[in-house]
Amino acid sequence: MNKIIKKDQLAAVLDSIAAKYQLIAPVQDESTVLFKPGVAGKDVVLDAVNSTVSPKGAFFPQWETMYIYNTAEADFAIKYPEEGPDRVLFGIRPCDMMALLHIDPVFIGSKFGDYYYETKRNKTTIIGVSCAKVAHTCFCSTFGGSPTGNKGADIMFYDLGDKYAVEVITDKGKAVADLFSKFLVDDTGAPAEVEAKAKELASLLKPVDVTGVKEIMDGAFENPYWKELSRKCLNCGVCTFICPTCHCFDVVDEAYMCDGQRVRCWDTCMAKDFNLAAGGHNTRPTKLEKVRNRFMHKLKYHLDRYNLAGCVGCGRCSQKCPVNLDITQVISDVKAVK
Amino acid sequence: MKKITEALKAEARKLLESNAVDLVIAYEQGSDLVHLTPLFANTPEKVDRISYNPFAVNNLGKYLLDYAPGEAKIGVVVKGCDSRALNRLIQDNCIPRERIVVIAVPCSGQLDPEKVLAKVDPRAELIEVIEQGDNYVLKTSAGDVTLNKKEFSREKCLTCETPVPVLSDITVGEVKGEGKANDYAAVKQLEALSPAEKNTFWEKYFSRCIRCNACRNVCSACNCRECVFDMMEPYWVSKKTSLSDNTVFHLTRAMHVAGRCVDCGECDRVCPMDIPLRKLNQKVLKDVKELFGSPTPGSSAEAEIALGRYNPDDPEEFM
């Protein structure tokens, strides 16, 4: 961490990476900030607190073709997509890196590993960038995160105003860091500056206490609170689509004549057909079941299954919910209703 | 604005205690200073939570659809723009007029939370909002902030047609200000572009869409029991967020709400990707006005409905 990069060198650093890897990084598109592949160093924007949509799409895209087929050919002539290039995901914030660690066990390491997610994960080196500022909706510390956290990073850039302190964490990271080593400058004061910045930012986070919430949620399934809360929900999918940990998907076949493709798309527990089964039965038919499921998943089910929180406190849903149905409010409400 | 809040509480309490309604849909303080959130008051205790200020952005009329099945009588707080949605829902027989008690609040314009965020401490407590001529003064626990209405209003409020609700059973607050006829300046600018330029303009936005359906779900004109975008059989529109599928989504929606879009601007407000949906819907509004000579849908209970009635003497030449 006692090496730094001057901010005015950042575009050159990123271009040196992009010469060998596909660079995925945040770019500005009017009022939105989105992670895009194949960007040039000069277009990368790190001014926003965070991207409009989380960068989970780099591993779990909103839609992807799983394979193509032709029903007229022997064995349907199934063709799988190519693996794609080695990639560097740059500019991901600590909360979103933590989110990847929290959804990894859904796709990797279980009896049914997910080829698509795992391949992209293995082929990607992650360069995290610590937060320069926090929004009033940020509450990552609630789930053990920090605006300067490096969990999940192969290389970590710590924002220190006009420079980044650089920490190379893994071997994978070292291979990428070698590409820009000529831009690194010694700065023995950097670690102390990072520590001061960490303290300053942590003090600005929204204080949200989840102590005991899991235990309350364990017994809260039938609580009338969910019905009252769900009245205002519109059942749109904003919260789930911009969320860094939501990972539900749907698989559909799209065919024209004999040619078809199997497509995986993001799904949302807010959707009408999310729990629709053959025969027409829907196990979560109304706002009540849908809203309860979202918060049970965030604050209980994910913990039950993986002992990991289903929320990382990025605050996106609090900001963008059309009706201000705010998870931090739910957390404090739940403690009161038990 | 404190007066309006207190009057709303008093009216809601009266309605609930006299069993005139089963539920009052209003606003309460949200999770930060710049947000109110919908409140569903079905007991006099919940009435105490009612709040009203220029952050009352939601069009609560949409929620009437949730209570349309059954017999419940519903009190609903509306601003001018939202009130048009009520008329339109009644005209479409979505809910009978007799089951709604309209609590009308004449509106002096809503503040844009995004713009205001830059000027206030969002975690401070909002004590009161005072209207002073061209300004709103926000009294907060972190000090007073004066906001010029023109500068900090939501864009739609600058060209408001009906600051006073177009239908009302109970009116709360003073009636002031008159509506302006919309000059559709933004639409005219777009109309002046070449087809290729228009295509570039909309492709940029449609390709950004994440198909979260917020625009559809917040829309009072979207009241189909089964939506074409939810259907799997036939699978009309792919769940893929390709430019082609996104374009079908937005253009279908724009055409489908023609004659029913009341220009409340909620689609534009809720879009997480900031797609200027109101520009798209205003083009349709403008065309409907020009082609059918009808006012903005919902402006009056009596006005002829464009595209909503069958008429054997339709003047359309090819029929």
Taking phi over 0 as left and psi of -120 to 50 as alpha, with beta for the rest, A77 belongs to left
| Each residue's pLDDT tens digit, A298-324 | 999 999 999 999 999 999 999 999 999
Q: Write down the mean pLDDT value for chain B.
A: 94
Is the pLDDT reported for residue B35 higher than 60?
Answer: yes
| Tens digits of residue pLDDT in B4-22 | 999 999 999 999 999 999 9
* Model confidence at B307: pLDDT above 90: no
- Does one domain contain both B148 and B197? no
| A36 interface with B at CB cutoff 8 Å | no
Give the mean model confidence (pLDDT) for residues B169-186: 89
Determine the structural domain holding residue A29 and report its residue range.
Answer: 3-55+82-202
Residue B310 included in any domain: no
> Is the domain of B246 the same as that of B280?
yes
B208 and B150 in one domain? Answer: no
What would the mean pLDDT of B16-43 be, rounded to a whole number?
97
**Does residue B75 share a domain with residue B15?**
yes
The answer, yes or no, to whether residue B318 has pLDDT greater than 70, is no
DSSP lists the bridge partners of residue A127 as A90, A155
Flag whether A27 is in a domain.
Answer: yes
C-alpha dist (Å) from residue A62 to A157, A241, A243? 27, 8, 12
CA A26 to chain centre: 13
On whether residue B203 sits in a domain, the answer given is yes
Q: Is residue A334 part of a domain?
A: no
Sheet with strand B170-171: strands edge to edge: B36-41, B23-29, B74-78, B100-104, B170-171
Give the end of a domain, one of B124, B147, B171.
B171
pLDDT interval class at B175 (50, 70, 90): confident
- Residues in B closer than 8 angstroms to A137, CB to CB, are 32
Cross-chain residue pair B37–A53, CB shorter than 8 Å: no
Phi-psi region of B97 (alpha: psi -120 to 50; beta: other; left: phi over 0): alpha
Query: Who wins on pLDDT, B200 or B306?
Result: B200
B270 and B133, same structural domain? Answer: no
Give yes or no: residues B26 and B161 share one domain. Answer: yes
Is A250 part of the contact surface with chain B (CB cutoff 8 Å)? yes
Q: What pLDDT is recorded for position A338? A: 61
Beta-carbon count within 10 A of B180 CB? 12
Residue B318 lies in a domain: no
Q: Which residues of A touch B212 (CB under 8 A)?
A: 236-238, 240-242, 268
Residue A60 inside a domain? The answer is: no
Q: Would residue A288 count as lying in a domain?
A: no
Q: Which of A30, A238, A328 sits opposite B214 (nearest CB)?
A: A238
From B106's Cα to the closest Cα of chain A, the distance in A is 21
Average pLDDT (A219-229) is 96
Residue A257 pLDDT > 70 = yes
Together in a domain, B59 and B98: yes
- pLDDT-wise least confident of A56-60, A64-68, A280-284, B300-304: B300-304
Tens-digit pLDDT profile for residues A157-209: 999 999 999 999 999 999 999 999 999 999 999 999 999 999 999 999 999 99
More confident residue, A337 or B170: B170
In a domain, A117, yes or no: yes
- How far is the alpha carbon of A190 from chain B, nearest alpha carbon, in Å? 31
Interface mutation target, options B22, B23, B24, B31, chain A, most CBs of A under 10 Å: B31
Helix (H) or strand (E) holding B144: strand B143-148
Which residues 51-70 in chain A show a CB within 8 A of chain B?
52-53, 62-63
CA neighbours closer than 13 Å in the CB half-sphere of residue A259: 1
* pLDDT score of B177: 76
Q: Number of folded domains in chain A?
A: 1
The verdict on A253 touching B (C-beta cutoff 8 Å) is no
The pLDDT of residue A111 is: 81
Based on the fold, state whether residues B211 and B106 are members of the same structural domain.
no
Is 80 exceeded by the pLDDT of residue B314? no
**Contact with chain B for residue A286, Cβ under 8 A:** no
Residue range(s) defining the domain that contains residue B94: 2-171
Domain co-membership, B25 together with B161: yes
Q: Alpha carbon A183 to chain centroid distance?
A: 29
How many angstroms separate the Cα of B84 from the Cα of each of A290, A294, B22, B104? 30, 33, 23, 11
Residue B309 lies in a domain: no
Task: Name the residue in chain A with its Cα closest to that of B67.
Answer: A231
Nearest CA in chain A to B239: A265
Please say if the pLDDT value at position A52 is more than 60.
Answer: yes
Is pLDDT larger for residue B177 or for residue B131? B131
Structure tokens given for A58: 């780099």
Query: How many domains does one find in chain B?
Result: 2
A181, part of any domain: yes
Q: What is the pLDDT of residue B234?
A: 86
Query: What is the predicted pLDDT for the residue at B176?
Result: 75
Inter-chain residue contact A252 with B123, CB threshold 8 Å: no
Total CB pairs under 8 A between chain A and B: 106
Please tell me the total number of residues recorded for chain A in this structure: 338
Residues B165 and B194 reside in one and the same domain: no
- Closest CA–CA distance from residue A244 to any residue of chain B (Å): 14
Q: Which of B122, B208, B212 sits opposite A237 (nearest CB)?
A: B212
Q: Where are the beta strands (DSSP E) in chain A?
A: 3-6, 22-29, 32-37, 63-70, 87-92, 124-129, 155-159, 163-168, 185-186, 249-256, 259-266
Question: How far apart are the CA of B72 and the nearest CA of chain A, in angstroms?
Answer: 15
Which of A31, A238, A263 faces B212 most closely, judged by CB atoms? A238
Residues B164 and B199 in one domain: no
Residue A98 inside a domain? The answer is: yes
To the nearest whole angstrom, how far is the Cα of A195 from the nearest Cα of chain B? 26
Cis peptide before A207 (omega within 30 of 0): no
Best of A233, A238, A270 to disrupt the B interface (most B CBs within 10 Å) is A238
ipTM, 2 decimals? 0.95
Do B148 and B205 share a structural domain? no
Query: Minimal Cα–Cα distance from B221 to chain A, Å?
Result: 14
